[in-house]
Amino acid sequence: MSHTSSAASPRRLLSPATGLPIALLVLLAIAGFIQPSFLSARNLQDILTQAAPLCIVVIGQTFVILVRGLDLSVASVMATVAVIATAFNTTDNAVLPQIIALSLLLALVVGTINGYLVVKRNVSPFLATLAMMTVLQGVRFYYTQGAPGGSLPSALRFLGTGQVAGVPVNLLVVLGVLAIAAILLSRTTLGRKIYIVGGNPRSAELVGINAGRVTIFCYVTSAVLAALSGLVLVGFVGSVDNWVGRGYELDSIVAAVIGGIALTGGRGSPINSVLGAIILMLTFNFVVIVGLPVQAQFVIKGLVIIAAAALFRRMPA
Amino acid sequence: MNGAKSFRAISNPPLAIASVALLVLIVTGFVMSERFGTFRNFTNLLEQAAPLGVLALGQMLVVLAGGIDLSIGAIVTACAVAVAALCDLYPELAPLILVGTMFLGAALGAINGVIINRTGVHPLIVTLGTSSAISGVVLLYTMRPVGGVPIWLEDAAYGATLGLPNVAIIMILAFALVGLALRKTATGHALYAVGGNASAATAVGLSVSRLTLLAYSASGFFAALAGIYFASRTGTGDPRVGDAMTLASITPVVVGGTVLGGGVGTAMGTFVGVALVSVLGNVLNYMNVSTFAQWVVQGIVILAAVSIYVDRSRKL
């Protein structure tokens, strides 16, 4: 699906690393000017809390896009994990180990199959993860017969809505995941390998990197983070339906693109992707605050993603 | 002569495999149910397959050119709503509205093409963006089904000519025309060249941007046809009618052997892909397999198709 021939004209002053915080500040300033209550600590915290599940997913999506892939199965993993979390239909925390083990198992299987198909069978990532999405959706509906329900352990409610010293737990989760991902990608050998494989898989093989294994690792990471995000989101919402996380597969790609990631691989950072997710959520919130109908979010999202992608294409790495 | 023909079949293994799979399915259908083999079921199948077929045909043109169109569903919806809303207001102008809607579809597709050509942004991102924007505009206009269509339009959508459903005739004509254009015209050959290797195509003087524009406009036009059909069939413009169409349009294309990335694929292959997907659904229905389990089967079919094809092409 490569359609791009990269011809980056040098605009040294602007890059995702400087541009994103500026965009974020400008957005906040405009929002605050129109509606001062937008900048209240309460509203900002609400926005971040709502953004938390997307932030976790976009970090996983970043790993996959860095190795020239895409993961369309993340939302289906989230919803399936949500069904697992309520399958025992109890608020008792005794079932927590089973829920975590099953969710992790699901993520490992899904991520490994996605990666295997892409690496070993040479299936396009788009199709491999699209098919995975469809299969998971079918299995989930078959199990729930279309009407899932049930209570979830109270510890998951705490994960989604609880606070520690005034800081929402789900934000702590985001920070933890982000820190690990950022360190892994920028400070470890594995991280360097991921960027090299994404930049040029063939030369990665030449310098002795097992590109296939690195790629599969990225798909497994994405699936595991999608599962974690599913637990956080179902904990946040407090109830389950068949579509928990619906739209996150595309929104996570949109967020990563707003964060300046290159779909051609090898360029991007989890911090920028998370900033992209926050900017996306801010614009959604902004639409509501200025009194536009909710549907305007779709229009704005569409325009923002094309504008961001076009802008970053002209920027140096 | 015979040798040349069988050589062609071997050199196009995806089409051969998909055709064999289709045959197996048809035989299974005959075994599983008496009603499967009836003419009535045959025309039903054709009728159900037609909108998907037309959409897959448009998607195939875009994929051949090296792109992908994720805005098909949104354009279907926009056109369905436009037809129903306008026909309700000006019933006497319905023929004009139909033509206008086809232009609307082609124009929305052309916008995709222009943005891709101008910005160089990945088609996946561009069409995802336009899809979101178009759906947003439609939903701003209405959140629930609106409008209506003249009764003659509804009759035409349900009607048949010489025993064949009208909509199936339109689909078959569309496949024949596109198939011929791809094989016999310079533009058709150029489309393969552009999808196969854009820079080589540019080097031999082909206009990549013109062909990209053409492919996306065609896809938009076919989406408009499907939108008009859905509006006529249901007598209303449903702002959610196209939701599932985008991803659905990709399956037959891929199952029919068109390679994501461009340059390889045929109208015949996509036709077999559409037939395969439709007959599969039909047979599973006769076997009383639930919709949910059918989704699982659908996903596995995509995976089986793409991984078998790739393996074959490597061996050959």
pLDDT one-digit tens code per residue, B18-32: 888 899 999 989 888
Q: CA-nearest residue of chain A to B293?
A: A138
> How many domains, in total, are found in chain B?
1
Residue A268 phi/psi, 5-degree rounding, is 150, 165
Cβ of B128 within 8 Å of Cβ of A299? The answer is no
DSSP for B84-110 reads HHHHHH-GGGHHHHHHHHHHHHHHHHH
For the segment B2-17, the average pLDDT, to the nearest whole number, is 58
Q: Quickly state the pLDDT bin for A6 (edges 50, 70, 90).
A: very low
Q: Quickly state the pLDDT bin for A14 (edges 50, 70, 90).
A: low
Chain B CB contacts of A247 below 8 Å: none
Cβ of B136 within 8 Å of Cβ of A297? The answer is yes
Q: ∠ CA(A275), CA(A132), CA(B257), 5° rounding?
A: 110
Buried b (16+ CB within 10 A) or exposed e, B147-177: bbbbeebbebbeeeeeeebbbbebbeebbee
Nearest by Cα to B268 from B174, B175, B195: B175
- The β-bridge relationship of strands B164-165 and B160-161 is antiparallel
Nearest by Cα to A170 from A83, A306, A5, A48: A48
- The β-bridge relationship of strands B160-161 and A167-168 is unpaired
B:38-77 residues touching chain A, CB 8 A cutoff: 66-68
Report the alpha-carbon distance of residue B135 to residue A299 in Å, rounded: 7
At residue A3, the pLDDT reads 42
pLDDT one-digit tens code per residue, A153-179: 888 888 988 888 888 999 999 999 999
Q: Quickly state the pLDDT bin for A305 (edges 50, 70, 90).
A: confident
Q: Which 3 state secondary structure label does DSSP give B141?
A: helix
pLDDT of B131 > 50? The answer is: yes
Interchain CB contact of A134 with B (< 8 Å): yes
Q: CA-nearest residue of chain A to B124?
A: A1
pLDDT of A4 > 50? The answer is: no
A:41-100 residues touching chain B, CB 8 A cutoff: 70
pLDDT of A2 > 60? The answer is: no
Chain A CB contacts of B134 below 8 Å: 302
- DSSP label at B185? S
Structure tokens at A49: 């809390």
Query: How far is the alpha carbon of B302 from chain A, nearest alpha carbon, in Å?
Result: 6
What is the Cα B79 distance to its own chain's centre?
A: 15
H or E element, residue B161: strand B160-161
Q: Quickly state the pLDDT bin for B11 (edges 50, 70, 90).
A: low
Q: Please, what is the average pLDDT of chain A?
A: 88
Amino acid identity, residue B172? I
pLDDT of B250 > 70? The answer is: yes
What is the Cα A116 distance to its own chain's centre?
A: 21
Query: How far is the alpha carbon of A139 from chain B, nearest alpha carbon, in Å?
Result: 7
Residue A24 near residue A142, CB atoms below 8 Å: no
- CA dihedral over A249, A250, A252, A257, signed as positive or negative: positive
The ipTM, to two decimals, is 0.83
Nearest Cβ partner of A299 from B137, B198, B295?
B137
Q: What is the largest CA-CA distance in chain B?
A: 60
Cβ of B297 within 8 Å of Cβ of A138? The answer is yes
For the segment B260-267, the average pLDDT, to the nearest whole number, is 87
The number of CA neighbours under 13 Å toward the Cβ of B211 is 29
Structure-model confidence comparison of residues A35 and A101, the more confident one? A101
Chain A CB contacts of B292 below 8 Å: 138, 141-142, 145-146
What would the 3-class secondary structure string for chain A be?
Answer: CCCCCCCCCCCCCCCHHHHHHHHHHHHHHHHHHHCHHHHCHHHHHHHHHHHHHHHHHHHHHHHHHHCCCCCCCHHHHHHHHHHHHHCCCCCCHHHHHHHHHHHHHHHHHHHHHHHHHHHCCCCCHHHHHHHHHHHHHHHHHHHHCCCCCCCCCHHHHHHHHCEECCEEHHHHHHHHHHHHHHHHHHHCHHHHHHHHHHHCHHHHHHCCCCHHHHHHHHHHHHHHHHHHHHHHHHHHHCCCCCCCCCCHHHHHHHHHHHCCCCCCCCCCCHHHHHHHHHHHHHHHHHHHHCCCCCCHHHHHHHHHHHHHHHHHHCCCC
Place of tokens 């938009």: B220
Q: Quickly state the pLDDT bin for A317 (edges 50, 70, 90).
A: very low
Report the alpha-carbon distance of residue B212 to residue B195 in Å, rounded: 9
Q: Which 3 state secondary structure label does DSSP give B164?
A: strand
Amino acid identity, residue A45? Q
> A15-19, A23-27, A71-75, A207-211: lowest mean pLDDT where?
A15-19
pLDDT of A1 > 50? The answer is: no
At residue B212, the pLDDT reads 95
For the segment A276-296, the average pLDDT, to the nearest whole number, is 88
Whether B57 maps to a domain, the answer reads: yes
* Percentage, residues of chain A above pLDDT 90: 46
Whether B3 maps to a domain, the answer reads: no
pLDDT of A7 > 50? The answer is: no
Place of tokens 């109208």: B267
Whether B267 maps to a domain, the answer reads: yes
pLDDT one-digit tens code per residue, A236-267: 988 888 788 888 988 999 999 999 898 888 99
Q: Which residues 6+ apart lie within 8 Å of B264 measured at CB?
A: B64, B192, B195, B196, B257, B258
For the segment B297-312, the average pLDDT, to the nearest whole number, is 75
H or E element, residue B50: helix B39-64
Q: How big is chain B, counted in residues?
A: 316
Whether B41 maps to a domain, the answer reads: no
* Percentage, residues of chain A above pLDDT 70: 94
Report the alpha-carbon distance of residue A71 to residue B298 in Å, rounded: 18
- CA dihedral over B89, B93, B98, B100, signed as positive or negative: negative
Report the alpha-carbon distance of residue B83 to residue B137 in Å, rounded: 15
Q: ∠ CA(A224), CA(A230), CA(A234), 5° rounding?
A: 155
pLDDT one-digit tens code per residue, B74-112: 999 999 999 999 999 999 999 999 999 999 999 999 999
A:271-300 residues touching chain B, CB 8 A cutoff: 293, 295-300
Whether B56 maps to a domain, the answer reads: yes
Count CB atoms within 10 A of the CB of residue A175.
14
Place of tokens 């957005």: A27
Q: CA-nearest residue of chain A to B62?
A: A1
Whether B26 maps to a domain, the answer reads: no
Place of tokens 């829920």: A99
Q: Quickly state the pLDDT bin for B314 (edges 50, 70, 90).
A: very low
Residue B200 domain boundaries: 47-308
pLDDT of B210 > 50? The answer is: yes
* Percentage, residues of chain B above pLDDT 90: 61
At residue B310, the pLDDT reads 62
Whether B116 maps to a domain, the answer reads: yes
- DSSP label at B35? G
pLDDT of A16 > 80? The answer is: no
* Percentage, residues of chain B above pLDDT 70: 94
Whether B54 maps to a domain, the answer reads: yes
- CA dihedral over B198, B202, B204, B210, signed as positive or negative: positive
At residue B263, the pLDDT reads 86
Our CA dihedral for A52, A58, A59, A61, rounded to 10 degrees, sits at 150
Q: Which residues 6+ apart lie within 8 Å of A236 measured at CB?
A: A49, A52, A53, A160, A161, A170
- DSSP label at B259? P
Q: Quickly state the pLDDT bin for B313 (edges 50, 70, 90).
A: very low
At residue B312, the pLDDT reads 42
**CATH number reported for the structural domain that contains residue B88 in this entry:** 1.10.3470
Interchain CB contact of A246 with B (< 8 Å): no
Q: Please, what is the average pLDDT of chain B?
A: 89
